[in-house]
Structure 1
Amino acid sequence: MSSQLKGPSSRLKAERELRGWSQQYVAEQIGADRYYLSRWEHGKMLPSPYYREKLCALFGKNARELGFLSQTESPEQAREEIQEVQLGAPSVLPANAGKAIEDPTIPPLPGPVHDLVGRQELLDSLKSGLSSGAPSTIMALSGLPGVGKTAVATALAHDEEMRNFFHDGILWAAVGKKSDVPGILSRWGTLLGISSIEAARLTTISAWTQAIRTAIGARRMLIIIDDVWKLEDVVAFKVGGNSCAYLATTRFPQLASHAAADGALAVPELSSADSMLLLERLVPLVVQNEQATAREITHLVGGLPLALLLTGNFLRVQTYNRQPRRIRQAIERLRTAEMRLHLQEAQPISQRSPSLADVPAISLHTLIAVSDQQLDETARRALYALSVFPAKPNTFSEEAALAVCLCSGDVLDTLSDVGLLESYAPDRYALHQTIADYASFQRSDPAPIERLIHYMTDYVHANEQDYPRLELENSNVLTALRLAAEHGQPSDLVATGNIFATFLSVRGAYEEAINLLERVRQAATTLQDQQGLGFALYHLGEIKMNQGEYRQAYDYLQEGLTLISTQDTPALMSQLLRMLGCVESYQGAYREAEEHLRQALALARQPGYEELQSLVLRSSGAVAGDQGKIAQAELFLQEGLTLARQIGKPEQICPLLVNLSQIALMRGRFAEADVLGQEALALAVQINYLPAQCLLYSHLGVAALEQEKYAQAQEALLQGLTLARQLGHPEYLIGILSNLGRLMCKQGGDVAKAEMYLQEALTKARAIASPWLQAGTLYEWGEFYLQQQRLAEAQAAFDEMYLLSTPDSQEYAALARYGQSRVAAALNDLELARRYGAESLALLHAMEEHYRTSEVQHWLTTL
């Protein structure tokens, strides 16, 4: 080496100081360690050609001007002679410095990148973050075992845009539970061109890290650290310069957050649509022929990609010969959690999880067990206990979790930190379906079940009037009551089930309520609890009435009345009589309905029964209104509303406002009906009273229609139609369909659509055998036919309507006669038209303030 190179490189130092730059700043600009810059300036070593080129570009000087060459030495000679003078890590950049590194351990793609279903948004976020150009960018992916973290990282490593941006190469570290940091660094060193002689001198992780950092220098590379279990491993593999970026994957959310802060992203489960898409690619035959079953499978595995792959591959193998019997048998086997957990598939060595490198076949059970084995005994017991809660999307409170597990909050924190327990909104947690299946399979202690039953039954009794709080724990309560039935705790089931059935009815969750009440009925029979059984029959009667099954509702209520006839239970007797009256009114038996409601009100007019009294007054008002007794209906409803406001229960106030809005509509006070309806709707939304919301949309639609606000009317009625179909409430559905048909006619809209709405309404009204629902629909049909000048059909509709309306429904009888009068006039039978018109007017006058009175009166003057 030339003697001129042995002294300090004062020129480099002088140029740096001339510009006011620190050693750290220069080092960062060229992607080197400050340690080497100091040694270069003191002549202890010379920069490699790579760094020499960087320094020349930075300072705008050539190598001789910076003191790297003697006056007689040519650049070619210097490149051959420059060596490390003494001590320190290698300074010579490998010969492959300009080539992109191809890491052979990057897992191969199972297919084209676009086949990674449902991950495009996540990939876009990663690509944007990693290619931002910020120094030493680090991002981290966390998620459940089997959610596809490695698959996303693999797709990123093969992405063309990423490869172009990180043009110097991508390094991959498969870390796992038992990381081999020296082995991975050594392999990287070989890829980066560190010679075996240099490698022999690198005996510590620190030495390897420094050597690799020097070898990488300013190269732009992506370093992927897969399946990290310890933060120390992330730190150990951060070996690049400022131009490098890092992506870590881990099953531990806390570790991801610690390692990457704002760059930490959670890998979610697949959506329902993406789950179906993935399953269809695996087993198109099953998805095409068994849509409902395929959706059930995606739900059972909670959208977890690995679970979908395992179940899909199982179905493909089992159904290769397309025999329906084998398909059904395979599907039935998958309904068992144990079967789903132990489905396994052989994994190529290149695709094995680092934590399961010695396991030739992967299953959900083995993958989750690796995390389970890291827990201490307390955390493990808590995880198993939590499996008594329904799985995601259900959530449960921290208070409930602690009560069921009998543990401290620290234990929940541990489960959350390791990714087995998902943290939701403040004080809420959830278990993924596969984690819940695994934990349930491991649980042998029945005590958590008993604790869940006791906690949830106490919760329902404490929050009986607080519907939002009951809604929050809806699934948990239903699960606890089902477990109470299965584990021989009938007293808890009867006492709590009847309370919760009321809440479910308000929600319009009729099928859930029926299933619960059948269990209550059986438990009450076993206990010989007549009162508990009577309340169950009352609830069943109410629900069946709402579903339009009047005969079955009547039978339930009569059974209840017979059961408690010798019991001293006036409140329950009043409830049963009230509901019986409502059922009878739907069937057109108004005299019987009024008598039963009179008896119910007499029993309810006792001190302390104000809430029950309000209920009976509401039903009495509704039945009076159905008969056209408007003034009497309003008296009942206003008295009931006064009581309900004193009690302060929105679920009592809301339906009374609904009925009063109906009275306002009958009187033609459409603005008033709108005000009452809006107040009621606000309450219904507040407590999520879905049946009331449905009926209110109908009332608000009619109010807008009568005021010729057609767009507003259509919006309200279509909202009501959606809810009515969702609830399966035939009465409300029929009314809304009839009103939509009327709207189409009135605004001169689509005649075919109007006919479609009216036909569906009449078909459903005939199916449930409700005379007044049929009468109301026939009136709209008659109006439709009159508008279309189809007089024979209009006459038939009004004639049938009149027969259904007499003798009990003055309103529908009056409207039928009005329709018949107009048909007669169109047929030039003016005498008959006047007679029918006069009958209609007399009936309307008797009803007091019906809004059609003036219309009929005016019609008569034109004849």
Structure 2
Amino acid sequence: MQHNTSKAQMHSPQASSRLHRLSSVPTRPLPIFDPAIPRQPSSPLIGRANDLELLKQHLWEDGNASLTTLNGLPGIGKTTLAITLAYDEEVLESFADGILWAGLGPSANIPSILSRWGRLLGLSLAEQSIDYTSWTRALHAAIGSRRLLIIIDDAWTLEDVLPFKIGGPHCAHLVTTRFPTVAAHFAVNGPLTLSELNKEESMRLLRHLAPTVFRHDSYKESDLVQAVGGLPLALTLMGNYLRKQANHGDTQHIQNTIQSLSNTRQRLELSEAYDANLEPEPGAPKLRSLQSVIAITDRQLSSTTRAALYALSILPPKPHSFSEETALAVADCDSATLDVLIDAGLLECSTSERYTLHQTISDYARAHLEESTPYARFIAYILDYVEQHEKDYELLEGESAVILGALDAAYEHQYWTELVKGVCTFAPFLLMRGSYALAHTHLQRAYQAANILQDRDGILNTLLQIGEIAYRLGEYTLAHSTYQQGIELARRWNNRRYLCAHLTGQGWLVWKRSDYSSAESYLREGLTIAQQDNYPEYLIEQLRVLGSIIASGGDYNRSEVYLQEALSLARTQGDREKVSRLYLSIGVTYAEQGQNEKAEHFLNEGLNLARQIVHCELTIIFLLNLGTLAYEQEHYELAETHLQEGLELAQHFHLREWIGILLINIGEMKIKQGTYAQAEDFLVRGLKVAQEIGSPRIIASAHNLYGELYLHLDLVEQASTAYQHMLTTLPEGDHEMYILGQYGLARVAAAQGDITEARRLGDICLASLVMSGHRKEAEVRNWLASLSMPSSPY
């Protein structure tokens, strides 16, 4: 490099002497800033501040002659981050001698780039005519001790990178690549992998690019972000497109434009001009789109690997994942093909040996999928998987997104037989997880398919589970009509298996609605069928329900016989859900008898099992009963914990029956604690829910506790009214609630000074409780004894 000297210095002897001395000292070349470095992005680098700092940290910490690699999906923003790094003030200060840039791509012009670097480093034209190896040595020598940052962008092969590793001891190299194998080869401490932008960052980028479009409808931003999985290129293309449309369109036009972006093809084909410095290769399209960016890699694949990629696109995309076994079955390929897709940066593999396709790559591949055979393979594989693992809840949980994807595919492509079998097998798992709306949607589809096929078993099975959903959500009228339809069809078609199942469902439902005689009739018929035809799965449920109903009537000994027989069968079958339900029924039965230690044992065992299999409704019911047991023993802190957790879960899953019961039981606990205003609030809310769903027993329970509350407040007339209302509305046959109502009226009589009536009613209650062995026996006995004391309690 030449240095200018002033005329005054040239004519002065002293200046000439100084010049002579200076010329003997080595001079430092001016810093280089490669003109091939693309222009600095005009938009702020949203969501990449931490990545930029981490990248700089790697450059500093790796020491002299470091080599850092930056890896990520096509369109993730690797080049943009590298450009930003090149303009960063701290980087420019640290690499004071400049920055060299090599933009490679699939058809890298390596000699041209090295020739440009030679000119920048001051090599002569004559030196450039030497052979390739000597030329790279000359470049290395020219760099010498200079402190340079050498950026090798968009590397496609290991061989393309090697010629550019010519830095001296004070240089650092940064390689960006979409290929994990290239990144891993050169990264001493492991590559830096760019992730997609998170939801907040993605929305900020869209708002920055199209500020007038998303002022009010943030949910539309969220939909777009989800559709492209936070990929910066996709967000940038959409944001720029929307901004341009907003500049010359009214509100309706903008809404239509946003709606159009829900179309996969539209998103893939959105395009904008390349920066001249970023064109991937000579002759490449001048417009950049998701389609063109991904297609560059796609074109490098063999036809077999490409077919596998397209087939995998029918699986749920990121953030969902799928197993290797699923991938091999759907793509009809071998593990080596999956490895090629991983090496190509198109398929991602997690440490748990699961795979995922980014949304944009999945969209691209599916748009190019022309055959239907992958769908047939997918549906057949998942149907077999679900049938094999029907009770392996943990496995079903891990594959639930894939299973649901297969059920959707079966519906969309009219695989009716597979749809009915798959839905009927998988729906019970969805019910366990509390996914009632999702289960209902799939069951309705399966019911329609079963009718198309005239599949009688399918019709009866879907009706059975639709009725169960209605029952769990407190829609008792719908549940009743659905079960009744199933009973009538099963009788007409002489289908005893599903007749047994619908009788069980209807029996339990009508018992909940306090129609005890009808409940026992349904259940007895169902039990007879289950025993005669040997349906163990239904026999267990029949015995459990009958045992619970008999216990509510006070016959605990006979109840225990039924429940223990059912428990033995459930354990033999290894059915964890049924075992958990039986622990609940047995625990509640012991609690009603005041055998708290045994009750706690079974309820805690059942809760642990319900949590293990993630059974939402059972977890709620166990928490309710454990909470009730705790406050009856004045363990209020524990009770509060259980009941509040149960209430939150019930509200989350919209289980109105359990919401009502939990509210009422919390009200009872507040009465015992003496916080009467809070108690009344909970009772008001609980009674409202009970009335909405039409549950006589829950309504009666609420009135019973209103009576209790009014007695504590010395509002004797209101208490009497509450108990009378309870007994008036109480259905015939509810022995336990009837005794509680009579006990309430006995205390009302005592509070009014009518000790004779109080004793009469109290004696009736005590005799009944003694006969059944109910836990209230001791309380009533002590209360009767207290009537002879000077200050008689109510």
TM-score w.r.t. length of structure 1? 0.82
Give the alignment partner of residue 859 of structure 1, picking from 771, 783, 788. 783
Matches within 5 A, 1:677-716: 677-716=603-642
2:377 maps to: 451
Offset of residue 215 of structure 1: 4.1
2:159 maps to: 232
Give the alignment partner of residue 75 of structure 2, picking from 146, 167, 187. 146
Q: Confirm or deny: 8 A CA contact 1:810 1:844 kept in the other structure.
A: no
Could you say if the C-alpha distance between residues 282 and 109 of structure 1 is closer, same or farther in structure 2, counting changes exceeding 3 Å? closer
Residues of 1 paired with 2:688 and 2:250: CA distance?
A: 40
Q: Confirm or deny: 8 A CA contact 1:671 1:703 kept in the other structure.
A: no
- The answer on 1:349 being equivalent to 2:281 is no
Q: Confirm or deny: 8 A CA contact 1:349 1:357 kept in the other structure.
A: no
Q: Deviations over 1:687-711 (max 9, x none)?
A: 2222222222223333333344444
Name the aligned partner's letter for residue 861 of structure 1: A
Q: Deviations over 1:808-827 (max 9, x none)?
A: 32333333444455566566
Partner of 2:345, secondary structure, is: coil
- The answer on 1:95 being equivalent to 2:29 is yes
Give the alignment partner of residue 265 of structure 1, picking from 180, 192, 209. 192
Could you say if the C-alpha distance between residues 210 and 826 of structure 1 is closer, same or farther in structure 2, counting changes exceeding 3 Å? farther
Residues of 2 paired with 1:569 and 1:722: CA distance?
A: 41
2:412 maps to: 486
- Which residues of structure 2 form unaligned runs of 5+? 2-16, 787-791
Give the alignment partner of residue 80 of structure 1, picking from 2, 6, 23. 23
Name the aligned partner's letter for residue 851 of structure 1: R
Offset of residue 333 of structure 1: 1.8
Partner of 2:492, secondary structure, is: coil
Q: Confirm or deny: 8 A CA contact 1:664 1:673 kept in the other structure.
A: yes
Q: Deviations over 1:362-414 (max 9, x none)?
A: 22111111111111111111111111212122222222222222222211111
- The answer on 1:242 being equivalent to 2:169 is yes
Partner of 2:701, secondary structure, is: helix
2:10 maps to: none
Partner of 2:439, secondary structure, is: helix
Give the alignment partner of residue 134 of structure 1, picking from 63, 69, 74. 63
1:184 maps to: 113
Residues of 2 paired with 1:692 and 1:857: CA distance?
A: 34
1:18 maps to: none
Offset of residue 650 of structure 1: 0.9
Matches within 5 A, 1:240-319: 240-282=167-209, 289-318=216-245
Matches within 5 A, 1:402-421: 402-421=328-347
Q: Confirm or deny: 8 A CA contact 2:514 2:731 kept in the other structure.
A: no
Residues of 1 paired with 2:356 and 2:651: CA distance?
A: 31
Residues of 1 paired with 2:582 and 2:727: CA distance?
A: 29
Residues of 2 paired with 1:591 and 1:691: CA distance?
A: 27
Q: Confirm or deny: 8 A CA contact 1:222 1:244 kept in the other structure.
A: yes
Q: Deviations over 1:634-692 (max 9, x none)?
A: 33222211111122211221111122222233233334333222222332233222222
2:660 maps to: 734
Partner of 1:605, secondary structure, is: helix
Q: Confirm or deny: 8 A CA contact 2:432 2:615 kept in the other structure.
A: yes
Q: Deviations over 1:162-187 (max 9, x none)?
A: 44544544443332222233333444
- Number of residue pairs the alignment of both structures matches: 772
- The answer on 1:602 being equivalent to 2:534 is no
Give the alignment partner of residue 222 of structure 1, picking from 137, 149, 152. 149
Residues of 1 paired with 2:272 and 2:720: CA distance?
A: 72
Could you say if the C-alpha distance between residues 803 and 151 of structure 1 is closer, same or farther in structure 2, counting changes exceeding 3 Å? farther
Could you say if the C-alpha distance between residues 148 and 818 of structure 1 is closer, same or farther in structure 2, counting changes exceeding 3 Å? farther
Could you say if the C-alpha distance between residues 305 and 101 of structure 1 is closer, same or farther in structure 2, counting changes exceeding 3 Å? closer
Worse-superposed segment, 589-598 or 800-809: 800-809
- The answer on 1:110 being equivalent to 2:36 is no
- The answer on 1:383 being equivalent to 2:309 is yes
TM-score w.r.t. length of structure 2? 0.88
1:802 maps to: 727
Could you say if the C-alpha distance between residues 380 and 784 of structure 1 is closer, same or farther in structure 2, counting changes exceeding 3 Å? farther
Q: Confirm or deny: 8 A CA contact 1:805 1:813 kept in the other structure.
A: yes
Q: Deviations over 1:411-430 (max 9, x none)?
A: 11111111111113444212
Residues of 1 paired with 2:636 and 2:545: CA distance?
A: 31
Q: Confirm or deny: 8 A CA contact 1:181 1:205 kept in the other structure.
A: no
Partner of 2:61, secondary structure, is: coil
Residues of 2 paired with 1:677 and 1:822: CA distance?
A: 32
Residues of 2 paired with 1:140 and 1:786: CA distance?
A: 77
- Which residues of structure 1 form unaligned runs of 5+? 1-47, 49-73, 83-91
Partner of 1:213, secondary structure, is: helix
- The answer on 1:768 being equivalent to 2:697 is no
Offset of residue 537 of structure 1: 0.9
Q: Confirm or deny: 8 A CA contact 1:505 1:543 kept in the other structure.
A: yes
Name the aligned partner's letter for residue 125 of structure 1: L
Q: Confirm or deny: 8 A CA contact 2:548 2:589 kept in the other structure.
A: no
1:362 maps to: 288
Matches within 5 A, 1:531-546: 531-546=457-472
Residues of 2 paired with 1:186 and 1:288: CA distance?
A: 51
Q: Confirm or deny: 8 A CA contact 2:664 2:702 kept in the other structure.
A: yes
Offset of residue 459 of structure 1: 1.9
Offset of residue 205 of structure 1: 4.9
Could you say if the C-alpha distance between residues 589 and 315 of structure 1 is closer, same or farther in structure 2, counting changes exceeding 3 Å? farther
Matches within 5 A, 1:330-345: 330-345=257-272
Could you say if the C-alpha distance between residues 441 and 783 of structure 1 is closer, same or farther in structure 2, counting changes exceeding 3 Å? farther
Could you say if the C-alpha distance between residues 129 and 762 of structure 1 is closer, same or farther in structure 2, counting changes exceeding 3 Å? farther
Residues of 2 paired with 1:369 and 1:532: CA distance?
A: 44
Name the aligned partner's letter for residue 804 of structure 1: T
Offset of residue 79 of structure 1: 6.0
Offset of residue 439 of structure 1: 0.9
Offset of residue 204 of structure 1: 4.7
1:51 maps to: none
2:388 maps to: 462
Q: Confirm or deny: 8 A CA contact 1:221 1:244 kept in the other structure.
A: yes
2:451 maps to: 525
Q: Confirm or deny: 8 A CA contact 1:624 1:632 kept in the other structure.
A: yes
Q: Deviations over 1:571-625 (max 9, x none)?
A: 2111010001112122221211111011111111136422221111122233344
Q: Confirm or deny: 8 A CA contact 1:508 1:690 kept in the other structure.
A: yes
Q: Confirm or deny: 8 A CA contact 1:396 1:429 kept in the other structure.
A: yes
Residues of 2 paired with 1:428 and 1:613: CA distance?
A: 40
- The answer on 1:373 being equivalent to 2:299 is yes
Name the aligned partner's letter for residue 253 of structure 1: P
Q: Confirm or deny: 8 A CA contact 2:279 2:286 kept in the other structure.
A: no
Offset of residue 546 of structure 1: 0.9
Could you say if the C-alpha distance between residues 857 and 222 of structure 1 is closer, same or farther in structure 2, counting changes exceeding 3 Å? farther
Matches within 5 A, 1:28-47: none
Q: Confirm or deny: 8 A CA contact 1:318 1:327 kept in the other structure.
A: yes
Offset of residue 280 of structure 1: 4.3
Q: Confirm or deny: 8 A CA contact 2:490 2:496 kept in the other structure.
A: no
Partner of 1:728, secondary structure, is: coil
What CA RMSD, in Å, does the superposition of the two structures yield over aligned residues?
Answer: 3.3
Offset of residue 226 of structure 1: 2.0
Offset of residue 861 of structure 1: 3.2
Residues of 1 paired with 2:504 and 2:732: CA distance?
A: 22
- The answer on 1:578 being equivalent to 2:521 is no
Offset of residue 434 of structure 1: 1.2
1:66 maps to: none
